[in-house]
Amino acid sequence: MLICIDLGSNTLRIAQIYEENGICHVQNSFERIVGSARGLRENGEITKEAKERIFGALSEALRQFDFKNLKHLAVATAAFRIATNSDEIFKQIRENYGINFNLISGESEANFINLGVLNALDRLKISSQNLAFIDLGGASSEISGNEKFRSFDFGIITFFESYKTPDLLEKNAKNVVKEAKEFLNQLKVAKIVLTSGVATTMASLKLGLKYDEYDANKINGTKLEMADFSTLRAWLLALDESLAVEFVGINRQMLVVAGMSLLKELLSDFNGEILAIDDGLREGLGVAYFKGIFDKILKFHKKG
């Protein structure tokens, strides 16, 4: 049994993972929106408010997971690669919660995500032939396929904070994803798996689930159509604040809208099948550990 922790630019995701017959399963999971990247572009640091959200979520998680007696793997991603105060935050977390974070590169992140999604497809008995994976994060986005891994410097928080309004988000998305779209098109795949919170939120909305009804088991394998990126975006924009909170959570309405704008442009040339999968980096850490390749991936792509 292993505890895997993904401290992202928007979300803290934790899972207790075990392996059975070569496939990893989540026994217990925890997820909180912490917005690590909010305000990062303004001063280059993880803000005091973001730190409080992170520490509050970790304090809550301590009541659910036995960090003292179970081995844990913890990684932090794009926001912490950018922030100048990451080491200070990791030190505080280590002293207060006994959790040791590794700051991973974008390429390492993409590699772990690849493992996590492939494991989910195996578990769901979905073919993994000729496909690519996209994880749209808070401050970076990772794309992998055909043994190629790339990380790109855009995410839903940094994109939204740059443009703010629906019209500007829609207008600027094409330029923001240009390089990533070129890489994706070069992969020439027939299927794309989306594993970010935006994609799983879209799947949840398609299934008619509200935010507090979210169920990863129902989400996994849900098909998305290109039309969904426009219709769900328009529907979400039309909701008043209270209804938006019911369906996508607190302070997420415009972030999800921003993410839909990015994905719509990124996938505009794609004509194949699009699936949403909840599994990603967090689960990939467990897969890598049980395969004995966690340190290899971590060190090979070590930041700096």
- Kindly list the averaged pLDDT for each block of 10 residues, start to end, along the chain of length 304: 96 97 95 94 93 97 92 96 96 95 93 94 94 94 91 94 96 98 96 95 96 94 96 96 95 96 97 96 97 90 46
| 97: region left, alpha or beta (phi > 0 left; psi from -120 to 50 alpha) | alpha
3-state secondary structure of 261: helix
Topology (CATH) of 124-276 = Nucleotidyltransferase; domain 5 (3.30.420)
> What pTM does this model have?
0.89
**Residues in the chain, overall count:** 304
- Of 26, 36, 22, the C-alpha closest to 4 is 26
Q: State residue 19's pLDDT score.
A: 97
Report the alpha-carbon distance of residue 53 to residue 35 in Å, rounded: 8
Do 15 and 29 touch, CB atoms closer than 8 A?
A: yes
CATH number of 2-106: 3.30.420.40
Report the alpha-carbon distance of residue 253 to residue 56 in Å, rounded: 22
Q: What separation in angstroms does the CA of 139 have from each of 77, 79, 80, 159, 179?
A: 9, 6, 10, 8, 16
- Same topology for domains 2-106 and 124-276, yes or no? yes
Report the alpha-carbon distance of residue 269 to residue 180 in Å, rounded: 12
The domain limits of the chain are 2-106, 124-276
Q: State residue 303's pLDDT score.
A: 44
- Of 34, 3, 11, the C-alpha closest to 195 is 11
